[in-house]
Amino acid sequence: MSKILFENGTVVLGEGRVVDRLLIEGGRVADAGTDAAGAERVDLGGGWLLPGFIDTQVNGGGGVLFNDDPSVATIATIGAAHARFGTTGFLPTLISDTIDKIDRAMRATEQAIAAGVPGVLGIHIEGPFLNPRRRGTHDAAHFTRLDAEKIALLSSLTHGRTLVTLAPEMTTTAHIRELVAAGVIVAAGHSDADYATMRGAFDAGVTGVTHLFNAMSPLHHRKPGVVGAAIENQTAYAGLIVDGRHVAPAALRIALAARPHDRFMLVTDAMPPVGTDADHFVLQGKTIRIEQGVCVEEDGTLAGSALDMATAVGNAVRLLGLDVADASMMASGAPAAFLGLGDRGALLPGLRADLAWLGANFRPRGTWIGGERVAAGASAAASRTATTA
């Protein structure tokens, strides 16, 4: 691989460090003292060079939905669509479905990683171990309980990370501990748990909260619920959908004021329209329409988003008042740490050269995975996301 020198912009390295140029070589970030002679030069045009985005909740993109066809081809299509917006790592996400579909999705993920599909890091299985009272757009007909056979399946991925979202009150702390002991990352979501149950789930090994505030028992002054337990917790990672619609920006700012910023992750919860000009799609037999970057059912129930990570970063700056370094950390460093990926999430010497180039207005300009350019940025027509500035 050749050397590439990025210059004439602002490079966010991670750990709060910012410089004006970056050299990569052999697919890795080069040491500051490395000779740049003979390097290809990339003029950032006054824009931003950030660690590549890592999205832990990606249901679809490029016109396809993982649930519809859990295959290597679908994963590759989703990855290519999101790479145009700076995403260099992602978990294809299967929402509640049959146990057979979960098995197929896990095997497809293994095959995609083995085949070298760019960006795929593992799988997120969101349900079907959820609470019908907080089902959101999930089909409750698929909901079921954990048992030894299902735990064995969820623990069976041979390549990559497995993230499982479940409702703690719909299982036991013993089952949570079994999953964690088997290497599964467990998050709480679509849950009506009370505060004590959520505290117990954290003690049992839950380390994440899926789309904080959405589809979970809210914070009430006498019943703190999942939201209260999550905001009080200083170590668990909480996903945020920052599109101005899923959660009021003021609520997100309150959460940010209460917890370390490096324990929040920007997620898209993206559906098939990302990277397309589609205004609707079908989800498990229901027609979902797109309204200002948000996917909604006919009755107004939110059904994921058409958000991309570049827009999420821009929204975190504009709506939440974060500086770019903090927003970048929430889009890369925090999810990398959550997934235990020690060689990603920052632009420090020796780490993988996963890069997202954004213009000064946060429009995507280019994406590199392992030092190889995989996308030149999205066209204006393809960026149909919830920019709410």
Q: Which residues are catalytic?
A: 269
Beta bridge partners of residue 256, listed in sequence order: none
Omega prior to 128 cis, within 30 of 0: yes
Alpha-carbon gap, residue 118 to 140, rounded angstroms: 33
In sequence order, the 6+-apart residues with CB closer than 8 A to the CB of 250 are none
CB 191 within 8 Å of CB 226: yes
Q: Which residues contact 246 (CB under 8 A, 6 or more apart)?
A: 211, 213, 214, 269, 294, 302, 305
178 phi and psi angles, rounded to 5 deg? -65, -45
Residue 55 Cα distances to 88, 157, 310, angstroms? 8, 19, 11
> Token pair of 337, please?
């740490």
Amino acid at the residue 306 = A
3-class SS of residue 259: coil
Alpha helices of the chain — where are they, by DSSP H? 72-83, 99-114, 148-154, 173-181, 195-204, 225-232, 249-258, 309-320, 324-331, 333-339
Q: Give the Cα separation of 353 and 360 in Å (integer).
A: 21
Q: Are 255 and 238 in contact (CB under 8 A)?
A: yes
Q: Name residue 166's amino acid.
A: L
